[in-house]
């Protein structure tokens, strides 16, 4: 059953809906929207049919059938279907080959193919086609349309092919121009000027205004021009399409061309409107079935092929339509126009329709889409599709685009950057990308140029390493080391060549254990695996090697970030934490350069302001809160804290400085005795030192309030104090919930 009531905005329970009230509510929006779409659809339907060489009435039949059948049985609530300029070229070729009656049979067969596509649920698969191919195909159609209809606008007739149209166009431009040329130029001029008119004027659709003005001018001037030829009445239902005769391959190609192009445009139009409207996404398979039924009906009644048309659909949306009733009503207005206003339609000059099609074709060559394609590096795909469509036919254009897209994909997948970089007395061989058998010739050439008997770092930053490349690297490494050289494999990411010298083959990425990128964690593990002792590496120490790694790989990525911080800092948080080497503030808070003003000391202590205050911590607090105007102060404790263990009496003798510093934490011990346990995720920690660490965070937050600069910022509402706890073993961050005085995992929302 088709639901006209709850398509869009009625989201209440079905049992509580008032169908009549909701229908009337939506009809207030659908009725005026349907009129706007009708005014756009009539001239476009006539123009598309004229451009394809089909009977002009076929365009109107298609608009009526598409608006009713596709809307009733399709899935998109706002999609408006009808004849589309994207099909003019293939229909023109089909008509010239098989005749109009046979073309109608081919259209009906294409509809059946679309239904099969929808039943087999392949609609989503059509969206894998590269956008560059789609845009290139539409641009090719637009260019063919413009080149053909320009001849009509200039008072002549289109040639037999696009190449012939191009060759004949200069002579047509400089030749004699009659009244038809004037009407065509006026139509194009009005369409171009209409976008610059005031909004109140642009309420009248541009195509309607252009055709109406051109028609009025031709009638007022008494011009004798070819005009729209419509029969006195609608054709009877006795129209029977003819079975096409000729090559079976040509018939199948025509059916598939219509089915694929119509399906692609309809699905893209449905997806485009889904991005703009609220509500559930369109069932694309059901939409394809609806479009197939519409084409089967249109072909059977002598109509032009039907697609979901982007221009009409967007017009419907922008006019405020709510449900599919708008598209159905627009079909009713077109049917009424055919029955009662056929005389007015017969006044329209064909030159005006040609001018309209020139404008529509030019709009298909969308420069915004071209720039987008170029930014993504798919310009060759776009151009191959366009040139193939213009020079040969649309299917050839699509095939050419797919071939070029696959070639580019293979190039991107198989390309690897291989180069040698000097590194002081050593040599670095850097290999990036995918390393396959196609890269072996270049790999062999580069490796052969590496100086002998030296220390070589083989840096592998590869996405994939196949058998041939693996054997090449393995053989070179063994031969180089037998000749007296040294090869250190420095592999970043998945260990494709981790045990290459031992002959262990490549493992699949999904089978191997997860490899944590070394710029995240764990640094010590990476250093243990890749950095030998200083005596083995010419005196280099791990920290220096790490700095070299940063300079080569990380600095180029973050240089622009640091450049913006060169003239000053504006951190948002003062982060007070322990000096423990296991706590990495930027990592556990997902922050970067310029975000945190960090203070670290033993036990993440904040000495109470006063005569016994610590000037270092106090100065940092005043600087961060008073001058830098941070918006938050975080005190972060952690599990296994040595300072907390020392407070509990587990401190080696003789550490007088440590004992002196920990006097600032004596209030934490008293708090533990006074307040009772602080819970961590609803439970008391197993170790007493961890329980003390939780109390310590709460106490240091209270100590912060003793600083006048902090107290004043809190009073103004400009500062927030946050307690944080990091469980080292679980890699879990917990935040202090002030209401129950407990810590809750950061993955769980806490009370503000």
Render pLDDT for 96-147 as a digit per residue (tens, 0 to 9).
999 999 999 999 999 999 999 999 988 877 667 788 888 888 788 788 878 8
pLDDT, position 717: 94
Render pLDDT for 436-462 as a digit per residue (tens, 0 to 9).
888 888 899 999 989 888 889 888 888
Confidence bin at 177 (pLDDT 50/70/90): confident
Task: Give me the residue label for tokens 């918006």.
Answer: 631
Mean pLDDT of 398-404: 90
- 645, containing H or E segment: helix 642-647
Domain-embedded: residue 164: yes
Same domain for 73 and 171, yes or no, is: yes
Same domain for 236 and 108, yes or no, is: yes
Name the domain boundary from 337, 371, 405: 371
Domain-embedded: residue 408: no
- Of the two residues 520 and 416, the one the predictor is more confident about is 416
pLDDT, position 685: 93
Same domain for 249 and 148, yes or no, is: yes
Domain-embedded: residue 54: yes
- Of the two residues 674 and 536, the one the predictor is more confident about is 674
Going by C-beta distance under 8 Å and a sequence separation of 6 or more, which residues neighbour residue 98?
106, 244, 245, 246, 251, 254
Beta pairing partners, 737? 742
The domain that contains 491 carries what CATH number? 3.30.750.24
Give the C-alpha separation, 72 to 85, whole Å.
23
Residues 398 and 137: beta-carbon distance below 8 Å: yes
Domain-embedded: residue 405: no
Same domain for 444 and 315, yes or no, is: no
The domain that contains 722 carries what CATH number? 3.40.1050.10
pLDDT exceeds 60 at position 702: yes
Name the domain boundary from 338, 371, 404: 371
pTM of the model: 0.60
Beta pairing partners, 679? 742
- Of the two residues 269 and 471, the one the predictor is more confident about is 471
What is the distance of C-alpha 427 from the center of its chain? 41
Same domain for 603 and 475, yes or no, is: no
Domain-embedded: residue 531: no
Domain-embedded: residue 350: yes
pLDDT exceeds 70 at position 431: yes
Strands 720-727 and 732-737: antiparallel
pLDDT exceeding 90 applies to what percent of the chain?
A: 40
Pick from 56-60, 145-149, 521-525, 563-567 the range whose average pLDDT is largest: 56-60
Render pLDDT for 567-612 as a digit per residue (tens, 0 to 9).
889 999 999 999 999 999 999 998 989 999 999 999 999 999 876 7
Same domain for 335 and 474, yes or no, is: no
pLDDT exceeds 90 at position 706: yes
Same domain for 181 and 72, yes or no, is: yes
Give the C-alpha separation, 69 to 100, whole Å.
22
Confidence bin at 718 (pLDDT 50/70/90): very high
pLDDT, position 694: 96
**CB burial string 549-582: b at 16+ within 10 A, e below:** beeeeeeeeeeeeeeeeeeeeebebbbbbbebee
**CB burial string 454-479: b at 16+ within 10 A, e below:** ebbbbbbebebbbeebbebbbebbee
Confidence bin at 183 (pLDDT 50/70/90): very high
Confidence bin at 528 (pLDDT 50/70/90): low
Average pLDDT, the chain: 84
Confidence bin at 504 (pLDDT 50/70/90): low
Confidence bin at 512 (pLDDT 50/70/90): very low
Task: Give me the residue label for tokens 């949306």.
Answer: 317
Same domain for 190 and 298, yes or no, is: yes
Beta pairing partners, 417? 432
Domain span at residue 721 reads 570-745
Strand order in the sheet with 596-601: 596-601, 573-578, 632-638, 720-727, 732-737, 742-745, 679-680
Give the C-alpha separation, 518 to 399, whole Å.
43
Name the domain boundary from 345, 371, 397: 371
**227 DSSP 8-state letter:** B
SS3 per residue for 491-517: ECCCCCCCCCCCCCCCCCCCCCCCCCC
- Peptide bond between residue 522 and the one before it cis (omega within 30 degrees of 0): yes
What is the distance of C-alpha 40 from the center of its chain? 31
Same domain for 367 and 424, yes or no, is: no
Domain-embedded: residue 593: yes
Mean pLDDT of 646-660: 84
Q: Report how far apart, in Å, the C-alpha atoms of 676 and of each of 639, 645, 691, 693, 741 are.
A: 19, 18, 10, 13, 11
Same domain for 584 and 465, yes or no, is: no
Same domain for 365 and 419, yes or no, is: no
Confidence bin at 545 (pLDDT 50/70/90): low
- 188, containing H or E segment: helix 179-194
Beta pairing partners, 81? 308
Mean pLDDT of 531-545: 51
pLDDT, position 750: 47
Query: Residue 82 is encoded by which pair of tokens?
Result: 């009808």
Mean pLDDT of 524-545: 52
pLDDT, position 565: 86
Residues 578 and 603: beta-carbon distance below 8 Å: yes
pLDDT, position 533: 42
Render pLDDT for 62-99 as a digit per residue (tens, 0 to 9).
999 999 999 999 998 889 999 988 788 889 999 999 99
Residues 633 and 710: beta-carbon distance below 8 Å: yes
Task: Give me the residue label for tokens 């039924």.
Answer: 293
Residue count of the chain, please give it: 752
Beta pairing partners, 491? 460
**196 DSSP 8-state letter:** T
Degrees to nearest 5, angle at CA 189 with 184 and 193:
155
Query: Residue 263 is encoded by which pair of tokens?
Result: 């399906």
Which has the minimum average pLDDT: 2-16, 200-214, 362-376, 379-393?
2-16
- Of the two residues 108 and 423, the one the predictor is more confident about is 108
Give the C-alpha separation, 554 to 548, whole Å.
10
- Of the two residues 518 and 202, the one the predictor is more confident about is 202
Domain-embedded: residue 750: no
Same domain for 438 and 362, yes or no, is: no
Number of structural domains (the chain) is 3
What is the distance of C-alpha 653 from the center of its chain? 62
Going by C-beta distance under 8 Å and a sequence separation of 6 or more, which residues neighbour residue 601?
578, 579, 616, 617, 661
Confidence bin at 162 (pLDDT 50/70/90): confident
């Amino acid at each position: 059953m088709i639901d006209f009531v709850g398509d869009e905005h009625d989201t209440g329970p079905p049992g509580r809906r008032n169908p009549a009230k909701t229908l009337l509510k939506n009809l207030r929006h659908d009725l005026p929207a349907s009129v706007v779409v009708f005014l756009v659809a009539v001239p476009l339907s006539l123009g598309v049919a004229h451009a394809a060489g089909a009977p002009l009435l076929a365009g109107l039949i298609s608009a009526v059938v598409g608006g009713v059948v596709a809307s009733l049985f399709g899935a998109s609530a706002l999609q408006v279907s009808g004849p589309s300029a994207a099909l003019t070229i293939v229909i023109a070729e089909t008509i010239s080959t098989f005749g109009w009656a046979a073309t109608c049979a081919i259209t009906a067969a294409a509809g059946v193919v679309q239904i099969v596509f929808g039943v087999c649920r392949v609609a989503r698969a059509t969206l894998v086609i590269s956008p560059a191919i789609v845009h290139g195909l539409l641009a090719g159609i637009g260019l063919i349309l413009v080149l053909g209809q320009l001849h009509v606008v200039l008072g002549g007739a289109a040639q037999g092919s696009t190449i012939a149209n191009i060759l004949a166009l200069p002579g047509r431009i400089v030749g004699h121009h009659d009244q038809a040329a004037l009407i065509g130029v006026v139509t194009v001029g009005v369409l171009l000027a209409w976008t610059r008119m005031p909004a109140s004027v642009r309420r009248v659709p541009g195509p309607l205004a252009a055709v109406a003005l051109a028609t009025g001018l031709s009638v007022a001037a008494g011009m004798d021009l070819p005009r729209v030829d419509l029969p006195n009445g609608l054709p009877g239902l006795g129209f029977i399409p003819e079975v096409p005769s000729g090559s079976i391959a040509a018939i199948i190609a025509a059916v598939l061309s219509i089915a694929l192009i119509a399906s692609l445009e309809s699905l893209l139009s449905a997806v485009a409107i889904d991005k703009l409207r609220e509500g559930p996404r369109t069932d694309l398979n059901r939409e394809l079935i609806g479009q197939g039924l519409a084409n089967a009906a249109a072909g059977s009644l002598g109509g032009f092929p039907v697609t979901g048309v982007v221009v009409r659909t967007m017009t419907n949306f922008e006019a405020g339509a709510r449900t599919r009733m708008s598209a159905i009503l627009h079909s009713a207005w077109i049917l009424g126009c055919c029955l009662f206003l056929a005389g007015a339609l017969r006044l329209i000059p064909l030159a005006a329709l040609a001018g309209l099609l020139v404008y529509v074709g030019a709009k298909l060559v969308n420069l915004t889409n071209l720039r987008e394609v170029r930014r993504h590096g798919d310009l060759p795909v776009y151009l191959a599709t366009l040139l193939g469509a213009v020079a040969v036919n649309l299917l050839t254009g699509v095939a050419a685009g797919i071939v070029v897209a696959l070639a580019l994909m293979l190039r991107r997948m198989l390309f690897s950057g291989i180069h040698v970089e000097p590194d002081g007395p050593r040599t670095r061989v850097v290999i990036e990308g995918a390393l396959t058998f196609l890269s072996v010739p270049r790999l062999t050439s580069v490796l052969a140029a590496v100086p002998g008997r030296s220390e070589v770092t083989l840096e592998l930053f590869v996405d994939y390493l196949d058998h041939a490349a693996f054997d090449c690297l393995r053989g070179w490494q063994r031969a180089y080391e037998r000749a007296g050289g040294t090869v250190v494999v420095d592999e970043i990411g998945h260990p494709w060549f981790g045990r290459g010298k031992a002959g262990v083959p490549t493992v699949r990425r999904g089978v191997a254990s997860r490899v944590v990128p070394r710029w995240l964690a764990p640094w010590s593990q990476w250093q243990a695996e890749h950095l030998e002792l200083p005596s083995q590496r010419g005196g280099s120490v791990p920290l220096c090697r790490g700095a070299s790694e940063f300079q080569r790989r990380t600095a180029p990525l973050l240089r622009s970030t640091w450049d913006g911080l060169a003239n000053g800092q504006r951190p948002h948080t003062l982060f007070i934490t322990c000096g423990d080497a296991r706590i990495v503030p930027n990592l556990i808070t997902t922050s970067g350069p310029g975000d945190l003003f960090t203070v670290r000391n033993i036990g993440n202590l904040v000495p109470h302001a006063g005569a016994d205050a610590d000037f270092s911590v106090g100065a940092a607090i005043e600087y961060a809160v008073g001058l830098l105007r941070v918006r938050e102060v975080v005190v972060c404790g952690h599990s296994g804290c040595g300072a907390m263990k020392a407070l509990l009496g587990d401190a080696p003798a003789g550490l007088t400085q440590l004992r002196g510093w920990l006097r600032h934490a004596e209030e934490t011990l008293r708090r533990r005795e006074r307040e009772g346990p602080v819970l961590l995720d609803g439970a008391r920690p197993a170790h007493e030192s961890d329980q003390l660490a939780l109390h310590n965070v709460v106490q240091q937050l209270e100590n912060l309030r003793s600083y006048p600069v902090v107290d004043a910022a809190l009073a103004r509402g400009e500062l927030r104090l946050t307690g944080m706890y990091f469980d080292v073993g679980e890699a879990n961050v917990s935040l202090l919930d002030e209401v129950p005085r407990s810590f809750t995992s950061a993955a769980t929302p806490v009370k503000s």
